[in-house]
Structure 1
């Protein structure tokens, strides 16, 4: 099959995740795209090298900005998210920071949702302020509040996650993107929790999507990577500035190789993650020792109707609090035998962690209180184990809670 035959936009999600952009004949018949473990590239002539540096000729110059495997990964990610172009980098935070350093300057304003991954929150509310960029926090589940803030501040960027980490609040992408566009701002959505298998923000009006590809996109807990998808002009600007000399956050060739592998099973894995997460959310909600459960797939979740409209599934994350508070939660986590106590998410293994003392410790106690991140909140990243075994492990741990 020729490469052009693999690039048809009418192909299904899984077909594009497996085939898009690659022709085995181009690599001596190798079914799996090769690993390009090189730092630099030879020019066929001095003139060719000069033209590549001037941007007059396509090609590979130096491994910091791109390699052939990375180009394939980026083409595939852009196809899956429905974007013009993509950039793969060394981590999710690298994707966010490279974008911010490229697009923002002293005097610019940013509007972010009050609930973000802890280090994203720290970058926007603490890191950027050192360089004259002002960040304002709002509750993005309240479009009226967002509209008023955009009208008053005229931010350059509007940034949020949905579902949000760790509360799993669902935000109306189309509504927020429309408000941002009317106010002259770019909308950036972190789509790590849902992945393009379940949610495609660009099709709902967002301008740019970022990922911690470490998580569900990779899917096996054996790499660290990030990605940015959106208009080609912006993505290539971030490659030329944000990656090339502002951060130098180059993705490793082996991580590219592993991500291409992970994408092949993404749709199947997200179906399994979502089905098991829904079953465990129902189990937890019905247990007398559980005070509350947050999962978009539950009908009583405040964002359930919205999630049904803008998502194709509800994802693999469940958040809950035990009636006994933090002490009971700690006893519960320590009693788990199959479920692993670890941060991160999206792995084949089910992982459990305590956001207030772990991933969201960059928030102050007051900020966590104000933004709904309870001291007793537990976040469960549901893996791919046999569901009955997960249910048994959770039930026996609840007995000790």
Structure 2
């Protein structure tokens, strides 16, 4: 099936028992057993739930993987995935990773004996230099949050295989509509499904997909043991949002490209971050491995005071955490999503207080451009 068709008919669609065209919400915690250990595939909803199973089958289809898993948040999916590693193992992470991922790696799992190095994976020398005898995994975002840096996933997969590493790719910004890392050699894909997959600012969820059944058994053991699973109501809501993913992603990208071009031409904007622009350093790589460039745009106006002045003027971009919803959102990563990263490190990476991150929605693109231009007039 082609992508748009798979979004409607992928995974488990409908209910064979009743003919319902939508998977029912199985709001149930436990299931009748015919005898001890004899059941119909479900015994307790932490272990498996029919609605959640339908969602997990759906995301596995979309990512072209072997098995999917649904969690109560994006960070729950990342945490469970990193629990595949052991105390004393070493993990390589891209340097401008999302603040929540940095926090769990550096400030939580680090206390439990997991070592980590944060490097630019687009720099082969830095990547090779980070390898240790106990290195077990490479964790990437591409595009990254918030600088929208691009890593060549196929090259990273070759590197991972050479060093016998798990390759984990956070595909939140691209979604499987634009990019399928498992087909490029990744072992695991994770999502904050709260963002584009849900798409309507009404559900918090996380997903993971593996490319190997044995890896799936290991991750399911962790999912069941730790218990951070997604409930049936949110599983159903997420599936409903995913049905329109293709239509939304096309609209997001169309608007984001127009916004990025408008910002790039504005004299008060120092730099624009968008992989769809030809001058973006990762543009050619993005063209090879992505089918579209997504709806996230970053731009730097110089300092925090100027950023605050722009934010005060915006009418259609809502100042809020999160991204990927139908409405346009705006944030200052240094003070919001990436505040958990030490200031010195943020500044080294280029995550300044003048950096504004846009999640471009599906409103009329001309209205969004006008809103930004009028707000930039204060500078």
TM-score, scaled relative to structure 1: 0.92
Shift in Å, 1:23 = 5.1
SS of structure 1 residue aligned to 2:369: helix
1:310-351 deviation digits (Å, cap 9, x = unpaired): 10000000000114x221111101111111000100000100
Shift in Å, 1:78 = 0.7
1:131-190 deviation digits (Å, cap 9, x = unpaired): 11111111112123212322x444111101000000000111111111111111100000
Shift in Å, 1:71 = 1.1
Between the two proteins, the alignment pairs up a number of residues equal to 378
| Residue 94 of structure 1: aligned partner | 76
| Residue 106 of structure 2: aligned partner | 125
- Which of 361, 365, 370 aligns to 1:387? It is 365
Say if 2:130 is the partner of 1:149: yes
Counting only pairs closer than 5 Å after superposition, residues 178-327 of structure 1 correspond to structure 2 as: 178-230=158-210, 231-240=212-221, 242-246=222-226, 248-323=227-302, 325-327=303-305
Matches of 2:289 and 2:4, distance apart in 1: 19
Matches of 1:86 and 1:388, distance apart in 2: 39
| Residue 41 of structure 1: aligned partner | 31
SS of structure 2 residue aligned to 1:156: strand
* Contact 1:109–1:134 (Cα < 8 Å) also in 2: yes
Gap runs ≥5 in structure 2: none
Matches of 2:264 and 2:323, distance apart in 1: 21
Matches of 1:38 and 1:180, distance apart in 2: 41
Counting only pairs closer than 5 Å after superposition, residues 20-169 of structure 1 correspond to structure 2 as: 20-22=10-12, 24=14, 26-49=16-39, 59-101=41-83, 103-150=84-131, 152-169=132-149
Q: CA RMSD in A?
A: 1.3
| Residue 354 of structure 1: aligned partner | 332
Matches of 1:21 and 1:193, distance apart in 2: 22
* Contact 2:15–2:24 (Cα < 8 Å) also in 1: no
Gap runs ≥5 in structure 1: 1-10, 50-57
SS of structure 2 residue aligned to 1:158: strand
* Contact 1:154–1:183 (Cα < 8 Å) also in 2: no
Matches of 1:175 and 1:306, distance apart in 2: 10
1:339-387 deviation digits (Å, cap 9, x = unpaired): 1000100000100000001000010011112222122111000001111
Shift in Å, 1:126 = 1.9
| Residue 350 of structure 2: aligned partner | 372
Shift in Å, 1:34 = 0.9
Matches of 1:355 and 1:392, distance apart in 2: 23
* Contact 2:276–2:283 (Cα < 8 Å) also in 1: yes
